[in-house]
């Protein structure tokens, strides 16, 4: 048994209840473990990927934990800056935060999982910023943008160190990172230590309502331990830790993400009860609703595999577009390899000339599409479909069709 893998049976969030299994995606390598050519001959560690729901607090989470040090304390292949729509999203958000919170140079803004510093870079002209990220390479890019970055996991210990050297934070930000942490309680203890009394913790994370409905099951991979609803977040932040979720927003990023604002107490905006009502209508406070998910996932898998197999039989050239982490869940779960996808194009320089984990499809620069015109493109980065379809309008005008895999397989 791999020492980096552990099975959980009890809810990581409320700690009280035994988890109820809802989906098994098989065994696969971590989604961001792209392979260099020299790694191809080596044994590739692979781990079970199973999802469960807690019948008490409705927290959806993996049954399998991989030691975060093995996933994140290394070179990280994902750079926020490689996706233009995401850069715009965070630059706009940074400008909005500066205006809404009247940020001044004396204010400290800390971001956990700050990656290459796109968001903090947008806030840096207004306030003191500090990134915290365990990866060995992304902080170097952030520093180039003037974003001081500590290489560490955010938690009670790092928060205490930051208070000692920098003081308390007016804002603590967490975008697509809060759901990545097995010991979520250590992170919340860190937030309580670091946050000024009138400060706010603001987090964006994929919303389980989107995952269960229009979103893709491919957003499930070992890095994503938790799949939160507002119901489960309320239990965690309010019941367990005595903090207040004061406002929520649903934003169109990675399908649909939930943005929540947390304070140490005070007024609660109408958006919170309204959103809870919406979740109740979707059945997110009932275990049975979660148990239906598996059959929908199997349906997508079968349709996608059949579509690609048919195209291969008709001798069509099919390539992948985007090599996101989520694409690796899709490829591995659906059994899609180099026999069905000739290569995958991706804008991230660190991913180019690597191979996808598990499925071993080569990732190359999008420049190849200037000379090697495919018949079909499987859009693995489906969350940027509008932007990519617009960007590739010349390819489409030449007759190239795009296959969008989720929520149901469709060809445009
Ligand atoms: P993207 C990331 O997941 C990583 P991923 C992380 N694990 C997380 O939590 C989630 O976000 C939420 C490429 N691309 O953003 C760039 C093009 O090639 O969907 C990226 O490799 N051309 C922290 O990896 C990938 O697609 C383009 O025009 O699933 C997109 O990755 C565009 C727009 C993107 O996240």
Residues 6+ apart with CB under 8 A from 170: 101, 103, 107, 108, 109, 127, 196, 198, 199, 200
pLDDT at 214 over 80: no
Pocket of ligand 1 contains residue 59 by CB under 6 Å? no
pLDDT in tens, 357-402: 999 999 999 999 999 999 999 999 999 999 999 999 999 999 999 9
Q: How far apart are CA 37 and CA 347, in angstroms?
A: 19
- Report yes or no on 307 lying in a domain: no
Atom 30, ligand 1: residue with shortest CA distance = 324
Tell me, yes or no, whether 319 and 374 share the same domain.
Answer: yes
pLDDT of 90 higher than 80: yes
Q: Which own/partner contact pairs does 94-98 have at CB distance under 8 Å and 24+ positions apart?
A: 94/119, 94/120, 94/121, 94/122, 94/123, 95/122, 97/123, 97/171, 97/202, 98/122, 98/123, 98/125, 98/126, 98/127
φ, ψ of residue 297 in degrees (nearest 5): -65, -45
C-beta of 379 in contact with ligand 1 (< 6 A): no
Q: What is the span of the domain harbouring residue 346?
A: 314-411
Which of 184, 202, 220 lies at the terminal end of a domain, its last residue? 202
CA 55/CA 65 separation, integer angstroms: 20
Identify how many contiguous H helices and E strands the chain contains and give both numbers: 14, 19
Contact status, residue 14 vs residue 59, Cβ threshold 8 Å: yes
Residue 41 lies in a domain: yes
**Is 306 within a domain?**
no
User: Whose alpha carbon is nearest atom 9 of ligand 1?
Assistant: 176
Question: Same domain for 230 and 247?
Answer: yes
pTM: 0.94
Whether 287 is covered by a domain: the verdict is yes
By most ligand atoms within 8 Å of CB, the mutation choice from 325, 345, 386, 390 for ligand 1 is 325
Q: What average pLDDT does this structure show over 226-252?
A: 97
Q: What is the mean predicted confidence (pLDDT) over 166-182?
A: 96
Q: Which residue has the higher pLDDT, 375 or 406?
A: 375
Does residue 77 lie in a domain region? no
How many whole angstroms from 81 Cα to the centroid of ligand 1?
A: 10
- The reported pLDDT for the residue numbered 143 is 94
Specify whether the CB–CB gap between 250 and 229 falls below 8 A: no
Residue 138, judged by CB atoms within 10 A of its CB (0-12, 13-18, 19+), counts as: buried
The total number of structural domains that make up the chain = 3
Looking at the structure, do residues 183 and 262 belong to the same domain, yes or no? no
Residues 6+ apart with CB under 8 A from 172: 109, 110, 111, 112, 191, 194, 195, 199, 200, 201, 202
- Could you tell me if 194 and 224 lie in one domain? no
Residues 176, 116, single domain; the answer is yes
Residue 233: pLDDT over 90 = yes
Q: Are residues 172 and 127 in the same domain?
A: yes
Read off the pLDDT of residues 9-27 as tens digits, 9 standing for 90 and up: 999 999 878 999 999 999 9
Q: What is the CATH number of the domain that holds 88?
A: 3.40.50.150
| Assigned domain for 124 exists | yes
pLDDT in the model for residue 80: 94
Report how far residue 141's alpha carbon sits from residue 118's, in angstroms, rounded to the nearest whole number: 9
Pocket test residue of 364, 381, 384, 393 for ligand 1, highest count of atoms within 8 A of CB:
381
Atom of ligand 1 nearest to the CA of 219: 29
**Is the minimum distance from the CB of 116 to ligand 1 under 6 angstroms?**
no
Same domain, 96 and 49: no
Confidence class of residue 340 from pLDDT cuts 50, 70 and 90? Answer: very high
Residues 87 and 194 occupy one common structural domain? yes
> What was the pLDDT predicted at 213?
85
Rounded to the nearest angstrom, the distance between the alpha carbon of 324 and the centre of ligand 1 is 4
Rounded distance from Cα 329 to ligand 1 centre (Å): 13
pLDDT of residue 17: 83
Ligand 1: does its nearest atom lie under 6 Å from the Cβ of 226? no
> Which residue, of 202, 219, 244, is where some domain finishes?
202
CB atoms within 10 A of CB 15: 12
Rounded to the nearest whole angstrom, what is the distance from the C-alpha of residue 358 to the centroid of ligand 1? 18
For 295, the enclosing helix (H) or strand (E) is helix 293-313
Q: Is any atom of ligand 1 closer than 6 Å to the C-beta of 80?
A: no
- Smallest CA-to-CA distance from 140 within 177, 122, 168, 114 is with 114
Burial of 99 (0-12, 13-18, 19+ CB in 10 A): exposed
Q: Are 146 and 232 part of one and the same domain?
A: no
149 in a structural domain: yes
Distance 150 CA to ligand 1 centre (A): 23
pLDDT of the residue at 105: 97
How far is Cα of residue 71 from the mean position of the Cα atoms in its chain? 13
Q: Does any domain span residue 347?
A: yes
How high is the pLDDT of residue 69? Answer: 84
Q: Are residues 58 and 123 in the same domain?
A: no
User: Which three-class secondary structure state does DSSP give residue 246?
Assistant: strand
- CA 335, chain centre distance (Å): 22
Q: Closest residue (by CA) to atom 12 of ligand 1?
A: 176
Please check whether residues 89 and 197 belong to one and the same domain.
Answer: yes
The model's pLDDT over 65-85, given as tens digits with 9 standing for 90+, comes to 998 888 887 788 889 999 999
What pLDDT sits at residue 77?
Answer: 85
pLDDT for 231 beyond 90 = yes
Same domain membership, residue 253 and residue 189? no
Residue 96 pLDDT level (bands cut at 50, 70, 90): very high
Q: What percent of the chain has pLDDT over 70?
A: 100
CATH of the domain at 357: 3.40.50.720
Q: Summarize the confidence of residues 241-268 as an average pLDDT.
A: 96
Task: Please state at what angle helix 325-334 crosses helix 293-313, rounded to 10 degrees.
Answer: 80
What is the number of the ligand 1 atom nearest to the C-alpha of 223?
7
Parallel, antiparallel, or unpaired: how do β-strands 169-175 and 108-112 relate? parallel
């Amino acid at each position: 048994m791999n020492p980096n893998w552990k099975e959980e049976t009890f809810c990581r969030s409320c700690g009280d209840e035994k988890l109820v299994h809802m989906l098994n995606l098989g065994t696969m390598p971590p989604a961001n473990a792209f392979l260099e050519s020299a790694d191809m001959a080596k044994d590739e560690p692979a781990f079970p990927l199973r999802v469960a729901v807690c019948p008490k607090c409705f927290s959806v989470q993996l049954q399998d934990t991989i030691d975060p040090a093995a996933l994140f304390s290394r070179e990280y292949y994902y750079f926020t800056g490689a996706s233009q729509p995401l850069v715009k999203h965070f630059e706009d958000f940074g400008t909005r935060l500066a205006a809404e919170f009247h940020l001044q140079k004396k204010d400290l803004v800390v971001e956990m999982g700050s990656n290459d510093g796109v968001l903090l870079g947008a806030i840096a002209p207004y306030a003191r910023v500090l990134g915290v990220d365990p990866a060995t390479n992304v902080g170097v890019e952030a520093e180039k943008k003037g974003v001081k970055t500590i290489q560490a996991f955010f938690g009670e210990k790092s928060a205490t160190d930051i208070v000692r050297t920098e003081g308390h934070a007016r804002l603590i930000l967490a975008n697509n990172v809060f759901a990545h942490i097995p010991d979520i309680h250590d992170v919340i203890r860190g937030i309580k230590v670091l946050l000024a009394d009138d400060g706010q913790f603001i987090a964006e994370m994929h919303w389980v309502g989107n995952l269960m409905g229009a979103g893709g099951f491919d957003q499930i991979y070992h890095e994503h331990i938790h799949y939160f609803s507002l119901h489960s977040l309320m239990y965690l932040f309010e019941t367990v830790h005595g903090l207040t979720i004061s406002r929520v927003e649903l934003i169109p990023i990675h399908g649909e993400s939930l943005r929540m604002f947390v304070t140490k107490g005070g007024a609660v905006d109408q958006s919170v009860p309204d959103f809870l009502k919406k979740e109740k209508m979707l059945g997110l406070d009932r275990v049975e609703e979660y148990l239906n998910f598996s059959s929908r996932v199997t349906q997508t898998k079968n349709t996608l595999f059949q579509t690609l197999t048919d195209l291969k039989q008709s001798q069509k050239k099919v390539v992948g577009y985007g090599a996101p982490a989520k694409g690796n869940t899709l490829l591995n779960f659906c059994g899609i390899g180099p026999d069905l996808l000739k290569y995958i194009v991706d804008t991230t320089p660190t991913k180019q000339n690597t191979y996808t984990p598990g499925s071993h499809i080569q990732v190359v620069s999008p420049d190849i599409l200037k000379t090697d015109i495919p018949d079909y493109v499987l859009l693995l980065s489906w969350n940027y479909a509008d932007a990519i379809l617009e960007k590739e309008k010349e390819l489409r005008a030449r007759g190239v069709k795009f296959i969008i895999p989720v929520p149901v397989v469709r060809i445009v």
